Amino acid sequence: MSADRLSTTFSALADPTRRAILARLASGETTVNDLAAPFEMTLPAVTKHLKVLERAGLITRGREAQWRPCRLAAQPLRDVAEWVEQYRLYWEQRFDRLERYLDELQQEKANVRKTAKYTERSKRRTRT
C-alpha cells in the first residue's frame, strides 16, 4: 500500500542489492548485465530490482540497440535528504541533553561518595 512518493522511495532503498546498484550508477551509466554481474542472482531478479528503482524515480532508462542503459536520478535522494534533515535538530539537541545528563550522573556519583547516602535515583520520566 502506501503509494506516497516518500514511502515508495524508502521502500526502494530498503534493499542492499538496490543500494549497491545505485552506488554503481553514481559512477556512471551502464547496462543491466553489467549491473547484475556482482550479484549472485539471476538476471530477471535484477530486472525486477531495476523496475522497483525506476518506479521510485531513482533511475531512468534509455534504449541503445539491444542495451537498456540505466542512470541514476537524484531527485528522490534529495527528497530523502530533505526529510531526514528535519530530524537533525532533534538529534543534535538530544545529544546536548544526553551530555548534560551524563554530567549530572557524574556529579551525583561524586555526591554519593562524599555523603555515603543513596538518594532516590532514576525517577520515572514523565510524559510530554
3 state SS of 30? strand
- Position 52 contacts DNA (CB under 7 A): yes
Q: Which of 36, 46, 52, 59 binds a second copy (CB under 8 A)?
A: 36
Q: Which of 11, 73, 79, 80 binds DNA (CB under 7 A)?
A: 11
Which residues ranging from 64 to 93 are in contact with DNA (CB under 7 A)? 65-69
Per the structure block, which three cell numbers stand in for 26?
553514481
- Position 121 contacts DNA (CB under 7 A): yes
Q: Which of 40, 44, 66, 97 binds a second copy (CB under 8 A)?
A: 40
Helix spans in the chain (H): 5-13, 16-26, 32-36, 43-55, 75-85, 88-115
Q: For residues 29 and 59, what is the distance between their CA atoms, to the nearest angstrom?
A: 10
With CB under 5 to 8 Å by kind, the binding choice for 96 among DNA, a second copy, none is: none
Look-up: residue for cell 512518493? Answer: 5
